[in-house]
Each structure stands twice: as C-alpha cells, then as structure tokens.
Structure 1
Amino acid sequence: MIKKFLPLCGLLLLVLAPSRVSASGEDSAALILKAYEGVSDLSARFSQITAIETTEIEKTTSGNVFFKRGGKMRWEYEGADPQLIVSDGKVLWFYQVRDRTAVRRDTANLPPSAKVALDLLGGLRDAGKYFEQSSCGEGCLELKPKKTDPDLKRLVVRHGTEGFITSVTTENALGNITKVEFSEAKKNTGVKDAIFTFTPPEGVEVVDENGEKN
C-alpha cells in the first residue's frame, strides 16, 4: 500500500517553479505555477484507472480529494473497497477500511521526491533537483526522476489553458500505469485543518513504516 503513495500524489508535483525545465516545457511549468499561486486550499472529485501490465487488468476507483498548504492532503476512495490517505504534513496515514488496517509513516523519512510531492501549494521551488521536466505536447508536461525509482518511471500532467491540472498519469518501472482525472475543482473554500488528521478507529491494526504492528 505504501507504494501507492507516489502515483496518488502525482498531482502535487506540478505546483513547481520552472527551474531546470527544457525550453519546450517552460511554458507549461510556468503556467501551472502561476495558476496555483493564490490557492490556499483545493478540493475536487477524482476518478482513477490503474492498468497492471502483467495481467492486462484495469481497476477503476473514484472519490474526493482535498489539499491545503503545508503539505496537507486527504484522498477519500469510495466503492466496495473504501480507503483513506491522509497527511497533516508531518505524518502520512494509509487506512484500508475493509481490512481494518492503517499504515503510519513519518513524512521526514520519505524519499526526497516524495517530500516534494507532499507540499502541494507551497511553491515546490526545489522540484527541479529531483525531476527532469519537458513538454509532451500542448497542455502537457512530463516529469522523470533524475534517480532511478521503481515506483515512478515518469509522470505526465495535462492542464487547461489557465494552467489548472486536469489529469495526472504515472508509470512505474514494471509498466503499470495509473491515470487520475480531476473534476468539479473548487479553490479557496476554507477547508478545515481537522480533515487532515487521522485517529485509527478502535480495533484497527496499526502498522509502522518498518512493518511493525502496534
């Protein structure tokens, strides 16, 4: 479940300064940065399609997502297998409702690229240290980790004419592809900090980042 982190946070990587961007990708990066400059919080509906290369199986899920400055985020997965991913900027939780299991991970121990990913609305000025960025067509920006990462081979972001992100597609080293599309986005609605905290319900098994059960 931890390995789902980067694909799910793909959206976050794009609010970045256009440093170290190829000439063809500079316009997209600058436009995206400008679009989110005045955004303090963001909420949207999302739909996610995951295609597993080895099995040719596609899994479709959907739900609601919330972001707030300071690395705060909340992904609510609906349907037969509800899940919750929450971060207050310091602690990241993965809660599988059906399995009654919650994984806790300190954001300080995440790899550099993931730390950048968590800071959605903070400018992400150092994103260029970890990703090569280039254009992949009109309204399209591609990011590739500078260091080999089995969980993230490349990330493709598509955006509208004003720079707001409409979809994020990630691919890992195995060729598995996850595409997340966003709709009904709302900016600066006063999302409360309380929704970015998580307390495991009674009876839920908590597992730390080392796999130890608490």
Structure 2
Amino acid sequence: MTVRLVPRLLLALAATTMFLFAGPLAAERGPAPDARAALDRFVEGLETFTAEFTQTVRDETGYVLQESDGSMQLGMPNRLRWEVTEPFPQTIVSDGEDLWTYDPDLAQATVRPLGDAFDATPIAAITQPERLDEHFRMDVLPVRDASALRLLLIPRNEQADFTHLELDLTPDGDLTRMAFRDIFGQETEIHFERSERNAPVDESVFTFDPPSGVDIYRP
C-alpha cells in the first residue's frame, strides 16, 4: 500500500533537516560525550550536504504505509531541496526565505515564509541550534552496530506534534539515519546513502519556478 505524504510531514522533514545542519551545537547538558561530539562534528564547518535517501512511513501498528526514494541537497544557511522521486513525485525547496512544497501529479504548489513553515512542523520554532538543550532532552540509545551512535531527542514542549526524534551518526560525524514518531503514532524513518559534505551545489537547485498551469496556494 502506498499513500501520499501529507504536506505537514514533508514540512517536518524539511525543517528537521535544516535545523540539524544549522550550525554548531551547544552542550550545556546532554548524552554520552561520544554521541554529542559526533553530532558536533557533523555540523562543524558544514557548507553543503547532499545525499540520496530511502524513506519508510509506518502506522501505529508498524504497518508500512509508504516506501519512497529520493535525493536532497542542502546549502548553508536554510537552503534546501528535498525531492521524492518514487512512488509519488513531491518536492520541497527553500531559498532561505520562502519554503515551497510542490506536487506535480496534482499540479499544486504551496509557498509560505520559512519562519511560518517552521512553526507548523514537529521542530516547532527551533531555529537556533545553540538552544538545542533548551528544546530537547537528550539521551543515547543502544544499537547493534558498534560503529553507530544513536541519539534520542525528546521535545520539552508538551504541545509538540512529535514524541521523539532519533539520529544515527558514525563516530566521525556522518549522519546515516533520521527517524521520528508523531503524536498519532505514525513513524517516519529515513536512511541516507551516498552522502557528500561540502560538494559543489548549483545555487539554482534552491530556487523554485512554478511550471505553467500550476495552482499556487499561500496559506
């Protein structure tokens, strides 16, 4: 069974990704030093990040609702292209000021200021990475792969739309997995492959020009 990802989930993925890549992270408190240090290494000196991904969405019983593939390119600060290619093409583009979501099958695009888009996501209003400890309680989860480190982030805000966020990193600071569960029990898991740090990225990928005939919504 496949279903379309709702715009809210797509925005969640975009905001989560941009937040994680936003810059150095403070460490007033937190999990095991190795795990936190790996997260710091991931964002330190980051200018661009590109990767292919596989994405699985499950309901509260673990039933797979959708499996999809795509690619992403990120540029500092807050520029992103997140593109699902299969089974339903969907695109998110941020130029640092506006965030576009585009569904070519429906010939619809939505654009909103980036700040408003952040407010509508599970990472609600977190735009300053130095405030990570203020917004999350952090811990380390065990994993079978001894070379992996798994961080658990639990939002301090009881009104958040998600219950937890997991990040898998290598000791060298490579992000390999991201997963979160929403308040309805739906889980989204993303595995990153063929990733590159600071590879040249054409600035044009961070702009979106709606094709002719596309309906544009500005909520």
What TM-score, normalized by structure 1, do the two folds share?
0.85
| Identical-pair percentage | 23
- For the Cα contact (< 8 Å) 1:3–1:151, is it kept in 2? no
Match of 2:165 among 143, 147, 155: 155
- For the Cα contact (< 8 Å) 2:38–2:170, is it kept in 1? no
Please, what is the CA RMSD of the aligned residues? Answer: 2.2
- For the Cα contact (< 8 Å) 2:35–2:171, is it kept in 1? no
CA distance in 1, matches of 2:62, 2:136: 29
CA distance in 1, matches of 2:69, 2:29: 32
- For the Cα contact (< 8 Å) 1:144–1:154, is it kept in 2? yes
Q: 1:102-121 deviations in whole A, cap 9, x for unaligned?
A: 1111112232934546x8xx
Q: How many residues align?
A: 203
1:199 is matched with 209
Q: 1:181-212 deviations in whole A, cap 9, x for unaligned?
A: 00101121221222111121111111112xxx
Which stretch of the first structure deviates more once superposed, 77-86 or 132-141?
A: 132-141
Q: 1:59-87 deviations in whole A, cap 9, x for unaligned?
A: 10011101110101111111241010111
1:212 is matched with none
Instruction: Give the secondary structure class of the aligned counterpart of 1:162.
Output: coil
Q: Which letter does structure 2 place at the counterpart of 1:17?
A: L
What TM-score, normalized by structure 2, do the two folds share?
0.83
Q: Which runs of 5+ in 2 are unaligned?
A: 1-5, 143-147
Match of 2:96 among 86, 89, 95: 89
Q: 1:134-186 deviations in whole A, cap 9, x for unaligned?
A: 21236010111111245321100111121111000110111100000001011
Q: Which runs of 5+ in 1 are unaligned?
A: 210-214
Q: Which letter does structure 1 place at the counterpart of 2:12?
A: L
Q: Which letter does structure 2 place at the counterpart of 1:160?
A: T
CA distance in 1, matches of 2:189, 2:16: 10
1:2 aligns to 2:7 (yes or no):
yes
1:21 is matched with 29
Counterpart mapping for 1:1-214 below 5 A:
1-4=6-9, 5-15=11-21, 16-22=24-30, 24-53=31-60, 56-109=63-116, 110-111=118-119, 113-116=123-126, 124-137=129-142, 139-149=149-159, 151-209=161-219
Q: Which letter does structure 2 place at the counterpart of 1:6?
A: A
CA distance in 2, matches of 1:26, 1:100: 47
- For the Cα contact (< 8 Å) 2:154–2:163, is it kept in 1? yes
- For the Cα contact (< 8 Å) 1:74–1:84, is it kept in 2? yes
